[in-house]
């Protein structure tokens, strides 16, 4: 181990892993009752730098989500808080059972550890293996039906990074003077957001897809301090400039 903490979801039991999964480490620290200075400090540093930008640009399991993102349906707002429930449940389960329960269900661990170890002759097709395959299969089906399904609703690492989304240096900003409220940006968002109204949402993974889709240049990814957590550009309300095209108009 290199003692480097990975800013995403990956399995540290992977035969090729050289970094630590924050969720796996968190569970072990709860089990052993260790004060997590290094973990908390590192996660705060990651969060302040990019928030969920690591979800959009770095995490390999997020990349798998992207590969299967065929249906960019609108996000279910209440269900998106499910990832915080999973995060709290992961901590409580580690404390209550003195075991890394989340790791035994994690779909990333299924791909990065269970399957490789099976082919290496180390793992067997037993009950824990079949549970892993079941959670992986369910997650893959969810990803096919709903773009970034795991990232939207279930990932505890996404929940941790989401806590910093509105204060992180990397952030999405809206130029209200340029926005015509055409809604084109919402059609490409893998998280099912409407970027022109939800650009500072905790679900935004800062992937930049909406910035490329906006032909009016109203959305930007910036690396700078967020002032009060809100974009300050422009005072005019969206869509009130007669010189800008309405929804469906050409740029």
By the criterion CB under 6 A, which residues form the site for ligand SF4? Answer: 8-9, 55, 59, 61-62, 65, 150-151, 155, 157-158, 172, 179-185, 188-191, 193, 195-196, 204-210, 213-214, 216, 218-219
Nearer to ligand SF4 (CB atom), residue 29 or residue 152: 152
Q: Smallest distance from the beta carbon of 29 to ligand SF4, in angstroms?
A: 19
Nearer to ligand SF4 (CB atom), residue 132 or residue 196: 196
Cα–Cα distance measured from residue 151 to residue 168, given in angstroms and rounded to the nearest whole number: 19
Cα–Cα distance measured from residue 232 to residue 85, given in angstroms and rounded to the nearest whole number: 33
Residue nearest ligand SF4, CB atom distance: 62
Cα–Cα distance measured from residue 153 to residue 3, given in angstroms and rounded to the nearest whole number: 29
Q: Smallest distance from the beta carbon of 122 to ligand SF4, in angstroms?
A: 25
Q: Smallest distance from the beta carbon of 33 to ligand SF4, in angstroms?
A: 26
Q: In residues, how long is the chain?
A: 251
Q: Smallest distance from the beta carbon of 121 to ligand SF4, in angstroms?
A: 29
Nearer to ligand SF4 (CB atom), residue 21 or residue 30: 21
Q: Smallest distance from the beta carbon of 68 to ligand SF4, in angstroms?
A: 12
Going by DSSP bridges, is the β-strand pair 219-223/170-174 parallel, antiparallel, or unpaired?
A: antiparallel
Nearer to ligand SF4 (CB atom), residue 77 or residue 98: 77
Contact 190, 148 (CB under 8 A): yes
Nearer to ligand SF4 (CB atom), residue 14 or residue 209: 209
Q: In 3D, which of 108, 150, 103 has the Cα closest to residue 128?
A: 103
Q: Where are the alpha helices (DSSP H) in the chain?
A: 22-32, 37-50, 53-57, 60-67, 82-97, 107-109, 115-119, 127-145, 149-153, 156-162, 184-188, 195-198, 209-213
Q: Smallest distance from the beta carbon of 237 to ligand SF4, in angstroms?
A: 12
Nearer to ligand SF4 (CB atom), residue 122 or residue 144: 144
């Amino acid at each position: 181990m290199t003692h480097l903490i990975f800013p995403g979801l990956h399995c540290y039991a992977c035969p090729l892993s050289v970094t630590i999964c924050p969720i796996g480490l968190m569970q072990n620290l709860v089990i052993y009752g260790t004060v997590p200075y290094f973990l908390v400090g590192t996660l705060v540093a990651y969060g302040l730098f990019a928030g969920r930008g690591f979800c959009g640009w770095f995490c390999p399991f997020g990349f798998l989500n992207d590969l299967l993102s065929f249906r960019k349906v609108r996000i279910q707002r209440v269900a998106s808080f499910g990832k915080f429930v999973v995060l709290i449940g992961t901590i409580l389960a580690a404390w209550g059972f003195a075991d890394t329960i989340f790791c035994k269900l994690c779909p990333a661990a299924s791909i990065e550890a269970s399957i490789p170890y099976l082919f290496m002759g180390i793992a067997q097709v037993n009950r824990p293996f079949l549970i892993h395959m079941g959670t992986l299969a369910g997650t893959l089906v969810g990803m096919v039906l709903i773009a970034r399904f795991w990232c939207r609703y279930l990932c505890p690492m996404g929940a941790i990074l989401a806590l910093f989304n509105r204060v992180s240096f990397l952030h999405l900003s809206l130029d209200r003077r340029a926005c015509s409220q055409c809604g084109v940006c919402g059609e490409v968002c893998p998280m099912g957001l409407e970027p022109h109204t939800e650009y500072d949402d905790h679900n935004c993974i800062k992937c930049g897809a909406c910035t490329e889709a906006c032909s009016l240049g109203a959305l930007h990814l910036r690396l700078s301090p967020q002032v009060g957590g809100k974009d300050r550009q422009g005072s005019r309300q969206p869509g009130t400039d007669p010189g800008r095209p309405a929804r469906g108009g050409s740029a």
